Structure 1
Amino acid sequence: MENAATRLTQVEANIARICKPARREPAEVTLIAVSKTHPAEKIVPLLEAGQRVFGENRVQEAQAKWPALREEWPEVELHLIGQLQSNKAEDAVALFDCIHSLDRPSLLKALAKAMDKAGKRVPCFVQVNIGDEEQKGGCPIGELPAFLEQVRAAEIPLAGLMCIPPADIEPAPFFALLAKLARDNGLDGLSMGMSGDYETAVQLGATHVRVGTALFGARDKP
């Protein structure tokens, strides 16, 4: 059994290896350890190994785990990487340092209101429905420029664009398209790539990769 420190070292080494031919610095890539569904006792070994940026899918699950962990590791940065319901906007703004799934005007309105109320601004990635999949969240590509204008008008800090490419298809064209959309809209941040394809994502410009299984090992079957 590999331990958490070994897996972390391996993922970091892979990122550094891919950065070299891409003429990028490893420091340009933020590794988000996706701790969704994992209990605190599985997160602690990664914290002890030096990992400080974590991603959760659900507000309620994060609320149950992270306040206690952050007491010991206050420097942790917490990213919300899953879909966000508008009625959870206040909770999300209170708990997270970054939100990766801003994708529609109703959520934008709820987040802007929550941020005004809390007196803080939380950077957000705009999620793009890069594969035009009906079942997936994300702003349609054709509506992206107008939506980005609305986000800027609401004075929400724009971290960049995020996508989840279609499953079981070569992800590179989708990552390349997201990178082009970011460039066309004057954005630098690219949240793309997971355990199975983060190396491809780094090659194509990812600034944030969301890695779960490669760091935590296979999920326990319910």
Structure 2
Amino acid sequence: MILYDYFRSSAAYRVRIALNLKKIAYTRVPVDLLQSEQRGRDYLLKNPQGLVPLLDDEGQLIQQSIAICEYLDEKVPEPSIIPADINERAIMRSIVGMIASDIHPVNNLRVLNYLSDDVGITVTQRNTWYRHWMLVGLESLEAFLGASDKTGDFCIGEQPTVADICLIPQLYNAQRFNIETDQLKVVNRIATNCKNISAFANAHPDQSM
């Protein structure tokens, strides 16, 4: 498999974790978002959306990180990263939605660039925007996890799922922007458990530059 990837992209980070958990060998092809390589002609022919990640599995091109994670789980069923139980799957998808649909999009690089370049806000205002929406999302997630009887060592139960795969990159982004997260007791406990797994540690941006 080939993964078109940018080391700091949280969406690409998710896919690296999933590939590692599945123990799937892959080749990384870096796409430098800061140099706008994702908008180059050759890349757009592969991914018209012009985003990362993009997975190439022997010519089968798959974009969007959650779709890729689901594809990998179906292609290599063990270890599963999607719960077998219907109720647990619903909880997992709720958590994935909180992170990938609510927190991540409003703080995505292209949104931040638009706020700076087109709307004309200052760097300070942009960082305030980022911190606000990050904390709104993470504090809601903390409350959700604290109230759920399905929360265990991980977001759902005792093994990582796509929910945890989404959580860790989002916390990395929070740390990059010096956002205080000590109050997120459940989130931090789960994060510690994830970080002790080599599949998560080896997917970290510092290991992927």
Structure with more of its chain in strand, by fraction: 1
TM-score (normalizing by structure 1): 0.29
Structure with more of its chain in helix, by fraction: 2
TM-score (normalizing by structure 2): 0.30
